[in-house]
Amino acid sequence: MADNEVFTKLPQDVIFHILTKLPPKTLLQLRCVSKFFYLLITHPHFLNLHISAAPTAPHRHHLIYYESTDYRKYYFSFHADETFSLCKIFEIPFKSVYGYIRLVGSIRGLVCLFDTNYFNFLGTVILWNPIIRKFKILPCLQELSCVGTNYSHMVIGFGFDQRTGDFRVVNFLYDFHNEHDFLPKAFVYDVKIGSWRSIGQVVPCYMPKNWYSSVFVNGVVHWLAYKRPKFNGQPNCIMGFDVVEEVFKLMELPQNLEFGSNVNEMRLCPSVDEKSVSLFINVGEIWDLWLMKDYGKVESWARIYTIVLEQDFIPLKIVNGGEILAAVSAQKKLVLIDVEKDETKDLKVCGLPSSFYTGGYLPSLALLDNGKQLME
């Protein structure tokens, strides 16, 4: 083909650079054009380049995960970055084995799901690329295969190692009934290698079963956690795990935040630019939004919004610089709150309020080389 002849005259690094600028849908079409394109696009080096270049690509969406109000179905909806208009909605193509599917995170086109049991929160991790319809079920940890295991629940995290261009799943095993004496074990799964490995670091904090508060920014997975020996009430710190250096980090909550019976709930989320973390704190009938303006520095925490609605709601994330994505409890729907204008926009997405999760989504070719194809 003439197009192939033109490409073959270019240096390979130039060809790769051109192709990395194209969206996954176009690349999948090119892969079917000729053997030349097929070999280039499926080459491991090109896949690494395309995934690593994903943050600068212009094809960004908001990803919303939620369950139906009857607990029977799980949905994903994609929304435009600025307007939040609905682009696509579809069911998760996986049947739960243990009873509940939870979303761990979404990074560079790859979605991490956790199929778990409501009573002990042990289960299986699934990695899924919805654009190319590839998935990977992670093997069970050997520590859970023994009879009479002491573990009561897992805490799962999902991150990306920019240095190696590899996705990583973090797994902490806890004993909920013996938290004072039992030291949790930590494991990391490297997608390229395809196996779990234990890490030598001691997990410094305890985390209850509400592990859904994990946030991945700056190469670190963050959770709300308890410093020992405190294990009840509201979490009193943020624990992070650096997926590149494989070390734990502790971050303090706002210094002038008073912990007491008046604090009902806290929810961790990324900042708008995803370069730091923010914190929703529920006191009485209001939610305060705190932002860590200078990542890692406790003195940079600042309260930027106080949000009050006439009905109960669950804040999910701050978006577009000053709007709050939230789930309204009574009406079981997703809304966008403009705090400064005191306006609320119905996004026409209905589901179980406690199940809503949001994250950024950037299509990629992740799992193209080592994932299984979903059946039509």
In the chain, what are the domain boundaries? 2-42, 54-369
**In this structure, what token pair is assigned to residue 295?**
């990542």
Q: Do domains 2-42 and 54-369 have the same CATH topology?
A: no
- To which residue do tokens 């696009």 refer? 41
**In this structure, what token pair is assigned to residue 112?**
């991490």
Residues 6+ apart with CB under 8 A from 288: 280, 281, 303, 305, 306, 307
Question: How many Å separate Cα 43 from the centre of its chain?
Answer: 27
Q: What is the mean pLDDT of residues 57-77?
A: 83
65 with 357: CB under 8 angstroms? yes
pTM of the predicted model, to two decimals? 0.89
Summarize pLDDT for 190-240 with one digit per residue, the tens: 998 999 999 988 888 888 765 656 899 999 999 999 887 555 677 889 999
**In this structure, what token pair is assigned to residue 341?**
């204008």
pLDDT at res. 232: 65
Instruction: Give the C-alpha separation, 169 to 199, whole Å.
Output: 12
Residue 32: φ, ψ to 5°: -90, -5
Residue 165: φ, ψ to 5°: 70, 30
Antiparallel, parallel or unpaired: β 237-242 and 220-227:
antiparallel
Instruction: Give the C-alpha separation, 305 to 143, whole Å.
Output: 45
CB crowding 66-104: b at 16 or more within 10 Å, else e:
bbeeeeeebbbbbbebeebeeeeeeebebebebebbbbb
**In this structure, what token pair is assigned to residue 26?**
């176009």
187 with 197: CB under 8 angstroms? yes
- Most confident region among 21-25, 114-118, 269-273 by mean pLDDT: 269-273
- To which residue do tokens 């395309």 refer? 50
pLDDT at res. 153: 81
User: Which CATH homologous superfamily contains domain 54-369?
Assistant: TolB, C-terminal domain (2.120.10.30)
pLDDT at res. 260: 56
pLDDT at 112 over 90: yes
Instruction: Give the C-alpha separation, 245 to 247, whole Å.
Output: 6
Antiparallel, parallel or unpaired: β 185-190 and 166-174:
antiparallel
Q: What angle do CA 277, 235, 108 make, to 5 degrees?
A: 35
**In this structure, what token pair is assigned to residue 372?**
């299984």
- To which residue do tokens 């973390």 refer? 277
**In this structure, what token pair is assigned to residue 64?**
């919303």
Instruction: Give the C-alpha separation, 103 to 351, whole Å.
Output: 15
176 with 150: CB under 8 angstroms? no
Closest among 267, 272, 259 to 321, alpha carbons compared? 272
Summarize pLDDT for 226-285 with one digit per residue, the tens: 887 555 677 889 999 999 999 999 999 987 766 555 778 889 999 988 899 999 998 878
**In this structure, what token pair is assigned to residue 279?**
């914190």
Question: How many Å separate Cα 34 from the centre of its chain?
Answer: 36
Residue 175, exposed/middle/buried by CB under 10 A (0-12, 13-18, 19+)?
A: middle
- Between 40 and 233, name the one with better pLDDT: 40
**In this structure, what token pair is assigned to residue 14?**
């130039």
Q: What is the mean pLDDT of residues 161-171?
A: 92
- Between 110 and 6, name the one with better pLDDT: 110
Closest among 162, 172, 176 to 214, alpha carbons compared? 172
What angle, rounded to 10 degrees, do the helices at 12-20 and 44-52 form? 40
Top-tier CATH class for 2-42: mainly alpha
**In this structure, what token pair is assigned to residue 80?**
């435009």
